[in-house]
Amino acid sequence: MTTVAGINDDSLVAEIASLAYTPALYSFHDLPFCDLPQTAQEFLTHTTNLYPDSPEIEGLEYFEEISHIRKSRAARLQRVLEGVNRGIADNMILLANPTHDDGDDTRNIAIAQIQNILLPEWRSHLDDHVEEIDALAWFEIHTRKGTPYPFSLERVLRDREEYVALTVEFALQSLQLAYEKQLADEKLKREARGSARMAAIANSMGDDLGSIAWQDSASESGWVDVGA
């Protein structure tokens, strides 16, 4: 995995994430249900409500239901990645633009957050999603046996490779967009702070100039402070 200490370019966000994630190979082929990972069993049994049987759904309608589940799980992945992406983006901005006196400490904390917490969590969400997709593929192979709609292992592997590649690409794009949004927000904050400082300076100068003008006017009018 590449180090994040020298990050100074937006494109490196995607580079880090891509180097940090490699999906596991499909390993559910020919396994009985009881030998699937416990999380996969629970997903099929409780989340999808498709296993062990669902006789009211048959044929193409049955397989369309599986497609709907895939789409809903993809939407869920998008939601769970949003918070992690924001956390990574925030720390990346700290690395690229240290603004505190304790710059080294700030950078070290940001590096530790990214390497030890955020990227592992980011990968874990992808791992969980890929396992769900694998569980659905396993289920579909078994339920299509003996039907006019067989599903071969070769088809599973091909579709899985394409889907996982698209999922990783989507996750990277989401991370990149989160980083760009945080950069834009940070720029607006800096501009707002700059405008506020300029306004304060202008107000202060206006007060000073007003005081000078008042004193000049008083002198010209011959007004004298009786207490002087």
Q: What is the DSSP string of 4-46?
A: STT--STHHHHHHHHHH--PPPP--TT--GGGS-HHHHHIIII
For residue 154, give the nearest of 22, 61, 26 by alpha carbon. 26
- Low-confidence winner among 6-15, 19-28, 42-51, 75-84 (lowest mean pLDDT): 6-15
d(CA 23, CA 130): 8
Question: Which has more confidence, 51 or 71?
Answer: 71
- Overall average pLDDT of the 117-146 stretch: 90
Confidence of residue 8 (pLDDT cuts 50, 70, 90): very low
d(CA 213, CA 211): 5
> What pLDDT score was predicted for residue 127?
94
Orientation of helix 119-144 relative to helix 59-96, angle to 10°: 170
Contact 66, 136 (CB under 8 A): yes
Q: Where are the domains of the chain?
A: 11-221
pLDDT at 21: 74
Instruction: Give the torsion through C-alpha atoms of 49, 51, 57, 59, to 10 deg.
Output: 140
- Maximum alpha-carbon separation in the chain: 111
176 band by pLDDT with thresholds 50, 70 and 90? confident
Q: Per-residue pLDDT for 57 more than 80?
A: no
Torsion of CA 162, 160, 149, 143, to 10 degrees: -160
What mean pLDDT, rounded, does the chain reach?
76
Q: What spatial distance separates the first Cα and last Cα of the chain, rounded to whole Å?
A: 77
66-107, pLDDT tens digit by residue?
Answer: 888 888 999 999 999 999 999 998 888 888 776 555 667 788
Per-residue confidence (pLDDT) for residue 81, from 0 to 100? 94
